Structure 1
Amino acid sequence: MTDAAPVSFPLRLLAPPDPATLPLPHPAHPADGVRLLCGAVYAVPDGSRPLTVDLWLPEEAAVPVPVVVFVYGRAWRTGLRDDLGPRFRSWQPGPFARLARAGFAVACPDYRLSGEVQYPAQTDDLTATLAWLHTRADDLGPDTPRTVLWGESAGGHLAALTALTHPVRTITATVTWYAATDLPKLAEDRPKGTYDPKDRDSFEALLLGGAPAERTEAARDASPVTHVGPKAPPFLLLHGVTDTLIPARQSVRLAQALRAAGHHPDLRLLAGGDHLWVGLCEQDVEDCYVRTVDFARRCTRDAEEAP
């Protein structure tokens, strides 16, 4: 009696379903006039967890609405996709519900963190988010050719990189709050003795897969200033002058690169502002939010009116 031949199992049967065809989550109603689809799967990377996105949508919209894709921060290492930071956690309704009430669809995606994969996987995830939104536009109602990328801290870095490195025609504008933009220059911009580019345990090293001083090409490629070109979208850059984690000089560097390429970025440096808007009064924090919404509204309106 001979052993039975092994049964070959077709690997295609292990393939996950296409996120473009999965049912959407059942909607919640976190605020009047707002519909929330929490945890829709937008990508299933091989060897990784499924990636999800929250969608905040206007309850009633007569026409397709522009999109804001918000990218959270926390040093590429941790964080929650719907967290704008400690200064906004007590807002009722919250900042994304307010955006939906203002006539935007808001997408808050997960992305793979530095403990899972190294750069550029994070910007690949944001590109996948944009592609998924486009494929689900008929189901969800957003006008994806009018999309604003908005990120804070590490999320601002990723939003700027995605806007500048991926030829996605739907990116209408980009907003960054206190974001790193030139990783090789961080040692120069931070106070002397507070940052070692040879440190393999820094947040930047964990993102790059090695110390920035050793991974020089990766650090340069992961810097938004490297990728500024003539087709960059409009930028709003907000940064606290007294930021002790990511110096305001980083936003200045990106603004200078954009101006050198012929653009007119809106750079706002806030006196007394530290990282996460620590040190600002409530009125100034709200003004950062209002400036962001007004900028998104203006850029998406201009895009709609363009021939």
Structure 2
Amino acid sequence: MHPALAPFLAPPDPAALPLPTAAHPADGVRLLRAVPYAVRDGSRPLELDLWLPEEPAAGPPPVILFVHGGAWRTGLRDDLGPRFRDRRPGPFARLVRAGFAVACPDYRLSGEAAFPAPLDDLSAALVWLRTRAAELGVDADRVVAWGESAGGHLAALLALTAAPAAVRGCVVWYGPTDLTAAPPHTPEAALLGAPAADAPDRARSASPLARVAPGAPPFLILHGAEDTVVPVAQGEALAAALRAVGTEAGFRAVPGADHLWAGAAEQDVEDCFTASLDFVRDRTR
């Protein structure tokens, strides 16, 4: 190969790619859709959607890094769960109108790569946001992670493993916290690439409960009291472990709620959203 071709054949640098033209999905909201943030060898480019205020009220807004669910094997990056799909304005537009930017990244699913691939991807999204913060007009020094279900698990891991102060707080909705007993033929085993018994170190590394240490950022953990997919005890255990090392950890079991807030009263679902927004606001003042 001629040396002059090398720069043209190298993968594009997401930190230097032009940003897409903004859409305007709601009043006061700009949306940069499908922005590449990482290009992995042998994998699809990873993209994120970035929801931004049309005119920030007072300087660059803090960032909510939202991580979607889907059992680590499916899901859409802009989906806060079935109880929010038909709401207008949608949840991300509401968060923007409350004064935040919202970044919704893809990550590699279990059919594409085993753990720690999705955590590596979210870490790369965090780096991309910091690298391009001035251009994007966001405050990447004030980031809160927020995830639901499998995304709650990954958001918790990101908050617990990121550099100090890189993540100011974490909101976990009904996320798994302990994968050390994952049996074969389960979504957890697919994430690990093996049953937990065959990969105990990886299972422990993939368990937020095992990654708790002094200096962890504050958490808000909301979980359905009747969750039949991820037992509420997993959320309770993470909150207890965080408190044991001196970290603020709010916990609420939502009465009558199964996974994905199925069965919860409409007001309880709205209260979960409002409590999460209040937590983010407090952590990014």
User: Identity of aligned pairs, percent?
Assistant: 60
1:76 partnered with 2:72: yes
1:132 partnered with 2:144: no
Give the partner amino acid of 1:92. R
Instruction: Say whether the 8 Å CA contact 2:49–2:103 is kept in structure 1.
Output: yes
Which of 202, 224, 228 aligns to 2:208? It is: 224
Give the partner amino acid of 1:130. L
Match in the other structure for 1:48: 43
SS of 1:23 mapped into structure 2: coil
1:215: how far off? Answer: 1.5
1:122 partnered with 2:106: no
Instruction: Say whether the 8 Å CA contact 2:153–2:175 is kept in structure 1.
Output: yes
Match in the other structure for 1:299: 283
Which of 102, 112, 126 aligns to 1:106? It is: 102
1:170: how far off? Answer: 2.1
Match in the other structure for 2:30: 35
Alignment deviations for residues 65-89 of structure 1 (CA, whole Å, 9 cap, x no partner): 1100000011000000000111001
SS of 2:264 mapped into structure 1: coil
Alignment deviations for residues 131-186 of structure 1 (CA, whole Å, 9 cap, x no partner): 1011111111111111000000000000001111222532000000000011125x
Which of 2, 12, 15 aligns to 2:10? It is: 15
Instruction: Say whether the 8 Å CA contact 1:198–1:214 is kept in structure 2.
Output: no
1:214: how far off? Answer: 1.8
Match in the other structure for 2:271: 287
Alignment deviations for residues 179-220 of structure 1 (CA, whole Å, 9 cap, x no partner): 0011125xxxxxxxxxxx442x21011100111222211111
1:263 partnered with 2:247: yes
CA distance in 2, matches of 1:18, 1:299: 32
SS of 2:129 mapped into structure 1: helix
CA distance in 2, matches of 1:293, 1:264: 16
Give the partner amino acid of 1:285. V
SS of 1:155 mapped into structure 2: helix
CA distance in 2, matches of 1:34, 1:114: 33
CA distance in 1, matches of 2:25, 2:257: 31
SS of 2:284 mapped into structure 1: helix
1:182 partnered with 2:178: yes
Match in the other structure for 1:253: 237
Match in the other structure for 1:194: none
Considering only CA atoms, is the larger Rg found in Structure 1 or Structure 2? 1
SS of 2:23 mapped into structure 1: coil
1:60: how far off? Answer: 0.6
Match in the other structure for 1:142: 138
Instruction: Say whether the 8 Å CA contact 1:71–1:155 is kept in structure 2.
Output: yes
What is the TM-score normalised by the length of structure 2? 0.96
Give the partner amino acid of 1:289. F
CA distance in 1, matches of 2:177, 2:24: 37
Match in the other structure for 1:172: 168
1:25 partnered with 2:9: no
CA 14–218 in structure 1, closer or farther in 2 if over 3 Å, else same: same
Give the partner amino acid of 1:263. T
CA distance in 2, matches of 1:47, 1:11: 18
CA distance in 1, matches of 2:68, 2:260: 11
Match in the other structure for 1:4: none
Match in the other structure for 2:257: 273
CA distance in 2, matches of 1:135, 1:267: 33
Question: Which structure 1 residue ranges, 5 or more long, are not aligned?
Answer: 1-6, 186-196, 302-307
Alignment deviations for residues 21-67 of structure 1 (CA, whole Å, 9 cap, x no partner): 11111101100000000000100011110000001001011401110
CA distance in 2, matches of 1:91, 1:170: 31
CA distance in 2, matches of 1:198, 1:86: 27
Give the partner amino acid of 1:49. R
Aligned residues: 283
Which of 44, 52, 55 aligns to 1:57? It is: 52
Give the partner amino acid of 2:37. Y
1:8: how far off? Answer: 6.0
Alignment deviations for residues 65-123 of structure 1 (CA, whole Å, 9 cap, x no partner): 11000000110000000001110011101000000000000000000000000000101
What is the TM-score normalised by the length of structure 1? 0.90
